[in-house]
Amino acid sequence: MAFAAITSIGRINFLRLPLSATATTTPSPSPSSQFLRPSRLFSRKLSAAVVMDGSKISNVADEFPSGIDPTTEEEYAVQSKLLQEFTKIPNIDKAWTFKSDSGDPMATFSISQASLLANKRRKYTLSAHISKGNDGNSVNFAWTPFPIEMIGVSTIVPSPSGSKFLTVRNPENDSPVQLEIWSAGQIEKEFHIPQSIHGSIYTDGWFEGISWNSNETYIAYVAEEPSPSKPTFNFSGYQKGCSTNKDCTNWKGQGDFKEDWGEAYAGKRQPALFVINIDSGEVRRVKIVEHSLSVGQVIWAPSIGEDQYLVFVGWSSEPRKLGMIYCYNRPCALYAVKAPDYGSEINEHKLKDVPKEDFPIYNLTQSISSAFFPRFSPDGKFLVFLSAHSSVNSGAHSATNSLHRINWPRDGKPDFSENIVDVVPVVHYTENDLFPGLYPHGFLPNPWLSDGHTVITTSIWRSKDAILSIDILSGEVSCISPANSNFSWRVLALDGDNIVAVSSSPVDIPQLKYGCLIEKETKNAAWSWLDVSSPVFKCCEKVKTLLSSLQFSIMKIPVKDVSNCLTKGASEPFEAIFVSSKSVKGNELNPLIVNLHGGPHSTSISSFSKSLAFLSSIGFNLLIVNYRGSLGFGEEALQSLPGKIGSQDVNDVLTALDHIIDKGLASSSKVAVLGGSHGGFLTTHLIGQAPDRFVAAAARNPVCNLALMVGTSDIPDWCYVECYGREGKNYYTEAPSADHLTHLYNKSPILHVSKVKTPTIFLLGAKDLRVPFSNGLQYARALKEKGVEVKIIMFPDDIHPIDRPQSDFESFLNIGVWFRKYCK
C-alpha cells in the first residue's frame, strides 16, 4: 500500500508538531554577520535576552542595531511577527496518486515549508485516501494523522505501477550519491554511488530526468559527470600521474577552467545520462553523446521489436555555455538511443561505458530548433513534446510555446524519419479573452486522461494560471478550470479521469480542489470542481482576518498610444492585478505599491504570494502590472517589447498607474514602486524618468547598467536582444564595440540617475550570476553620491531570486518598514 511505503522510509522522522505549528523564535544572526537580522531588533524588549555562542553566554539586552531608532525598531518588531505568520504557510510542490490495497485511490503530496531557524525549506509528505460520493457531488480526503519529514531527500519518484518508489539523496560534499528502492513496508535496495562514477543527480526541474522502465528493473537518470582529474604538486614541483591521495606533502591544483550553465547551476558543467540495473546495482553511462552536448529530461520509450530506447533532450554548449535557467531560447533537440543491455553480469557500481559505435544516436527533431518535455501516449503510438522555437528564433528568453507530436515506430527496425505534426501552433494574436497560446510550466509525469489522447496541463492565460485539456489528435484546446474565476489554478496530479489541483488568489491562501469529468462521452465534456478539506494550508486567525478584509480584481489597461504599435497584438490592452482593502476610512486611500515582475518575458499571475499578501496586510494597496511583453497575451504583444525596453514598458507602467488614479483608487502622493531583476530595471528607470511620481522604491538585484552587465552576466545575449530587438541576435558578441556599449548604456536606468530623488532600498545577492551585484551597487553608490537616501542589504550567500528563507524574510521585512516610513 502506498502509505505504508512512504511512512516506512529510513532516516525519515515524524514531524511532532501540527502542520500549522512551527517555532516562533526569530532567526539568530551568524557571528560574522554585518547585516541587519530581525532577531536583533527585539533585544530592547527583553529583560534578560541572551545569545548562545558555543558554551559562552553574553548579555545583549542593551545591544542596538546601528542606524535604527526606537520608532523604526518598534515597526520591525510588529511587522516581523506578522511576516513570520505568512512565512509559515506551506507550499505543495508535487502530488502523486496510487491505488491502495483496498482499490481506493490515494494521494501523496510533497510539501515544503520555510524554516527560518534552519534557513532552508523543510520537505515532508502527507497522504490521504480519496473517496467520492455516490452522487458525484462530494469527495472526501481521509488524511493520515501526521506528515513525514523527508530528511536529506532530494526527490522521490514512484514506479509506473505505484508499487515502488525511488528515493534520491544527493550529498552536500564528496560523499556518494544514495539511491533507495522502497516497496510497501520496507526498503528493497540501497546503493551508494561514489563520485568517481558520477556526481549529484539533477533534481532541478529542467535538466532533471529520472525514469523507470516499464518492467521496473532499470532506472535512467541524469547526473553530473565525474569531475576531471586535477594536477598534483609537491615539494619537488609537479607530481606525475593523477594521485588521489592528499597529504601534507602535496596539494591539488585547479586545472583547466570548465564553464558551467550559469545562474543556479554554479559548478554544474556536464549533465550526463546513466542507467542503473536495480537488481545488480550496476551503473552504466550511456556514452553516445558528443561531449559538447548536455543531456536532460530522459524517459524510457516503448519497445521497438525487442529493443528498448531512451529519449532525452540535448543542448549544445558550442561555442560556449550561456545561462540556462529561465532561458528557453537555448536551442535543443530530442534524441533517441538504444538502452544498454546488461546481460546477466553482476558487478555492483562498476561503471561501464556504452561504446558510441554500438549505439548510434538519432536526432528526432532536426526540422525544429527547440524540443523538450517529451511524453509518450499511453498506447505508445505518439511522442508529444513542447517547443520554444519562437523563443529560439527571436532571441527572447521566453515566448509563446507550441505542442507537437511524432509517430513512434513499434515493430522491426527503428525509423525516425517521421514528420513532426503541429498539434498546437504558436498563437500570435488573440482577442476577447480567447485562448492566448501555450505558456505551460511543464508536463506531469503522466498527463493523460483515459482516452489516451487528451493531455492535462497548466498554462498562463493572461494574468492567471489555467488548467487546459489538449486533444493531441485534433489540436483542440479547452480551458477546464472555471472560466468565470480570476483565481489561478494549477494541476497537481491526475486520478484517472479526475484532477487533483490547487487554486488561490492574491487574497486567498491555496485551496485543494478535486475536478470530476462529467459527460465525458459528449463532445463538450464538462468538469465539476469540488472543495477538498485539507490540513495543509493553515494560517493563524490574524492572517485570516487581514486577508478577509482584502479584495482583488484584474483590470484591462488600454494602450496609451496605439500609433506606435507595429502589430495588432501590441495595440490590445494589457492587464494589471489590483489588490485593495474592502473598506476605506473616510476619504483616506491606502498608499499604493506598484509591483513589477522580472524577465521581462514572464508574468505576475493571480495566485497567492506570501510576501505580497504581507505587504497588503500592513496597509498597502497593490498594482501588479503585466506590461506588454509579458507571457500569456499572445506572441505579437510579447515581441513588441524587445528593442523598446526602458521606454515601452516604462510607459505601460505609468499608464496603468494613471488609470487607477483617474478612477479614484489611488492617491498620486502616496505611491511606492517595487521590482526585481527586470522589475528592478523598471523600478530604477521609473524613479529616474518620473522622479516626482514615487515616494519610495525597492529594487531586488536590479538591472541598472546594461553596459556593465553585458560583460559580467551569464546571459550577455539577453542584453543585446532586449536592447536591439530581434537583430540583437546577430549583433551579439563577446567583445562589444564602443557603439554597442553606448547603446546599452543609453537604454539603462543609470542614464537618468542624476534626476532621481526617491529614497531607495537595494536588496542584493552576492552570488548572483544573472545580474551580478555590482550592477545595483554601482547605481546605489551613484545615488548616495548625489545625496539621495539609500539603504543597501547584501545577502552574501544568495543568488538571483534572494529566496533563502532568512534572506527572503529580511528582504520583505525591510521593504515593508521602508515603505511605511515614506508612505505615511
DSSP symbol at 204: S
| Cα–Cα nearest to 575, from 640, 639, 627 | 627
CA distance 124 to 144: 13
Instruction: Identify any residues that bridge with 698 across adjacent strands, giving them in sequence order.
Output: 674, 761
Q: How far is CA 209 from the centre of its chain?
A: 16
In angstroms, what CA-CA distances link 84 with 486, 501, 539, 804, 810? 28, 26, 11, 14, 11
CA distance 693 to 291: 53
Other Cβ atoms within 10 Å of 710 Cβ, number: 23
Other Cβ atoms within 10 Å of 132 Cβ, number: 17
Is position 768 annotated as part of the catalytic site? yes
The type of residue at 20 is S
Whether 535 and 126 have beta carbons less than 8 Å apart is answered as yes
Residues 6+ apart with CB under 8 A from 260: 266, 267, 268, 269, 321
Instruction: Identify any residues that bridge with 314 across adjacent strands, giving them in sequence order.
Output: 295, 333
Whether 51 and 28 have beta carbons less than 8 Å apart is answered as yes
Choose, from 80, 211, 505, 677, the residue flagged as catalytic.
677
Other Cβ atoms within 10 Å of 314 Cβ, number: 23
DSSP symbol at 635: H
> Grid coordinates standing for 53?
555562542
Choose, from 204, 495, 508, 768, the residue flagged as catalytic.
768
Choose, from 652, 800, 808, 811, the residue flagged as catalytic.
800
| Cα–Cα nearest to 818, from 698, 729, 732 | 698
Handedness of CA 42, 46, 52, 57 (dihedral sign): positive
DSSP per-residue string spanning 726-769: GGHHHH--SS--HHHHHHHHHTSGGGGGGG--S-EEEEEETT-S
Length of the chain: 824
Instruction: Identify any residues that bridge with 91 across adjacent strands, giving them in sequence order.
Output: 112
CA distance 417 to 364: 8
DSSP per-residue string spanning 393-412: HH--SS--BEEEEEE---SS
In angstroms, what CA-CA distances link 100 with 107, 108, 163, 166? 10, 11, 10, 18
Owner of C-alpha cell 532506472: 219
CA distance 637 to 428: 8
Q: What is the dihedral of CA 491, 494, 500, 502, to 10 degrees?
A: -10
CA distance 619 to 77: 16
Q: How far is CA 491 from the centre of its chain?
A: 16
Cβ-defined contacts of 657-665 (< 8 Å, 24+):
657/594, 657/623, 657/693, 659/555, 659/557, 659/558, 659/576, 660/555, 660/576, 660/578, 660/592, 660/623, 665/578, 665/580, 665/589, 665/621
Is position 677 annotated as part of the catalytic site? yes
Whether 630 and 599 have beta carbons less than 8 Å apart is answered as yes
Whether 405 and 472 have beta carbons less than 8 Å apart is answered as yes
Whether 250 and 243 have beta carbons less than 8 Å apart is answered as yes
Whether 579 and 594 have beta carbons less than 8 Å apart is answered as no
Q: How far is CA 808 from the centre of its chain?
A: 15
Active site residues: 677, 768, 800
